[in-house]
Amino acid sequence: MSFRQNHLLGIEPLAPDEITAILDLAEDYVALNRSDNKNTDVLRGLTQINMFFENSTRTQSSFEIAGQRLGAHVMNMAMQASSIKKGETLIDTALTLNAMHPDLLVVRHPHSGAVDLLSQKVNCAVLNAGDGRHEHPTQALLDALTIRRAKGRLHRLNIAICGDIAHSRVARSNLLLLHKMENRVKLIGPPTLVPSAFAELGCEVYEDMQEGLKGADVVMMLRLQKERMDGGFIPSEREYYHRYGLDQAKLSLAAEDAIVMHPGPMNRGVEIDGTIADDINRSVIQEQVEMGVAVRMAAMELLARNLQERRAAAA
Ligand code: ASP
């Protein structure tokens, strides 16, 4: 059993063999999800609570479907109607939920570190579904599975991550994972959105997109995180598209068989040309969504096994 974590708070604490353990198990779930009977009882009797303090389309529905297919009782907390609106602190909410004995808690929060803090107050396994600009581990894992399936490997690849790196938890989790698996990671964007400090993390930083895309096996585009910007980071969206939007001309500089990725939601015509996003010979954006369910099923199964072992040892 090579997955040793109690929680999935980020990619940072994971060892390469733990990443591989999640991806290998997720492969089984890809097959199950494509079959007629998608249901298992791996999490039978367990309760999963989803708490999303920030909006989400893909991630929340993906975790919900994943839990249901594993046979868990899944509850989505309606955060709009919750006591948070009445001023309850995150910790009080966590303690209240903890008293209901959940087994898996899936949390998204606008503040970096909030999910980690919460995990210290509860007796169940916590999964980070995105905390501020810090980490979004299941996104990086689903991206890794998508890359591994498309390229046949997850090491020694030339990977370009383009756009709003500064505000992106997706970029952070991805570059941590891709480095652990020994890939060459290139970050591309204007200096306002790709601070040079990223070079200290072992990445190559490019302001010129044409230069950065050369020979890339994977081109990962990111959304401009306007909700996390508090000033003028780009001159205009038109200018940004001209310099950093992925169009055919720029993509032709990448490897001939390069794949195009985007975590969604996409701003077509801002960071990516719609025809590239829809080109099934290039874009793996829909595969990313499919892999998301499988990866979340795998992560929840591995965490639930560890939780049950801890409980059995304590009994
Ligand atoms: N859905 C991803 C996230 O939650 C990416 C994005 O919002 O741009 O971070």
CB proximity list for 17: less than 8 A, separation 6 or greater: 2
Segment 18-27 mean pLDDT = 98
State residue 173's pLDDT score: 97
State residue 83's pLDDT score: 66
Candidate from 139, 142, 221 with most ligand 1 atoms within 8 A of CB, to mutate: 139
User: Above 80 in pLDDT, residue 89?
Assistant: yes
Candidate from 106, 112, 136 with most ligand 1 atoms within 8 A of CB, to mutate: 136
Q: How far is CA 314 from CA 98, 114, 308, 309, in A?
A: 18, 27, 10, 9
Question: Regarding beta strands 125-131 and 104-109, do their DSSP bridges make them parallel or antiparallel, or are they unpaired?
Answer: parallel
pLDDT band (50, 70, 90) for residue 196: confident
Q: Is the C-beta atom of 133 inside 6 A of ligand 1?
A: no
Segment 26-31 mean pLDDT = 98
Mean pLDDT of the chain: 94
pLDDT band (50, 70, 90) for residue 87: low
Global pTM value? 0.96
Q: Sign of the CA dihedral 20, 214, 284, 52?
A: positive
Strands, sheet with 104-109, edge to edge from the N-terminal-most edge strand: 73-77, 47-52, 104-109, 125-131
Segment 143-150 mean pLDDT = 98
User: Above 70 in pLDDT, residue 60?
Assistant: yes
Candidate from 223, 225, 261, 266 with most ligand 1 atoms within 8 A of CB, to mutate: 223
Q: Is the C-beta atom of 180 inside 6 A of ligand 1?
A: no
Q: Do the Cβ atoms of 105 and 127 come closer than 8 Å?
A: yes
> Minimal CA–CA distance to 295: which of 33, 71, 42, 15?
33
pLDDT band (50, 70, 90) for residue 91: confident
Q: Is the C-beta atom of 67 inside 6 A of ligand 1?
A: no
Please report the atom of ligand 1 found closest to the CA of residue 139: 2
Q: How far is the CA of 163 from the centre of ligand 1 (A)?
A: 13
Q: Among 35-49, 150-164, 227-241, whose mean pLDDT is lowest?
A: 227-241
State residue 259's pLDDT score: 98
CA distance 299 to 139: 12
Top pLDDT among 199 and 268 is at 268
CA distance 64 to 72: 10
Count Cα neighbours of 249 within 13 Å in the Cβ-side half-sphere. 7
pLDDT band (50, 70, 90) for residue 20: very high
pLDDT band (50, 70, 90) for residue 80: low
Q: How far is the CA of 36 from the centre of ligand 1 (A)?
A: 30
Q: How far is the CA of 220 from the centre of ligand 1 (A)?
A: 13
> Minimal CA–CA distance to 94: which of 133, 51, 47, 137?
51
Q: Is the C-beta atom of 169 inside 6 A of ligand 1?
A: yes
User: Above 90 in pLDDT, residue 86?
Assistant: no
